[in-house]
Structure formats: C-alpha cells, structure tokens
Amino acid sequence: MSACPLVKLEECQEALVHALDGDDIDALEQSIEALRHTVEAARGVGGWHDEPDLRDRAVRIQSLAQAAMMRVNFLTDLTRQRLETLSALRGRPAVHHYSGKR
C-alpha cells in the first residue's frame, strides 16, 4: 500500500494550519481546495491500520486537523466579537446568523 496520499494529506493539513495563522485569504482558499482534493484521493486508501508508520502518520494528521479546527473556532469567535462590538457602536442588537449547530 502506498503512503503517498497520506503524506500529501499531512502536507495539506500543515499548509492549512499555516494559512489559518497567516493573513492571506488567497493562501487560505488554496489550502482548503488542495485539502479537499487530497481528502477525496485519500478516501480510497485502505489497509493502513496494519502498518505502524502509516498509523503514526494518521495520528499526526488527526492532530493537525484538530489544530486547524481550534484556529477556525478562535477566528470565528473573534469575528463574532468584532461584529457584536460594531453592532453595539451602532446602537443595534447583535445579530447571530450562525449558531454552529446542525
């Protein structure tokens, strides 16, 4: 079994975390699109449960995904706070369009 899709997935997750830490929307959009394509390719990879090095890589990928998720949550909260501040400055109640619930 080839580790190539998982290597690429790890690289894409690292790029996403880096893009979330940066201030470049183009880099963020590119990393999201690359990650989407790579996830689609990696879905077909099977048999990694039996290979310790691939299992370790999967754990690293999961950690990177969690790091990205924490950054997204932080940025979402920061944006919400800014919108509430702007609403308060305008004398209007804050409007919440996204609840985060499905």
Supply the DSSP symbol for 88. H
* pLDDT value for 96: 66
Find out whether 49 and 55 touch, Cβ atoms under 8 Å: yes
* pLDDT value for 36: 95
C-alpha span between 3 and 44 (Å, rounded): 12
* pLDDT value for 99: 59
* pLDDT value for 47: 66
Digitized pLDDT (tens) for each residue of the chain, 102 residues in all: 445 788 899 999 999 999 999 989 999 999 999 999 999 888 877 666 667 778 888 899 999 999 999 999 999 999 889 989 998 899 888 776 665 554
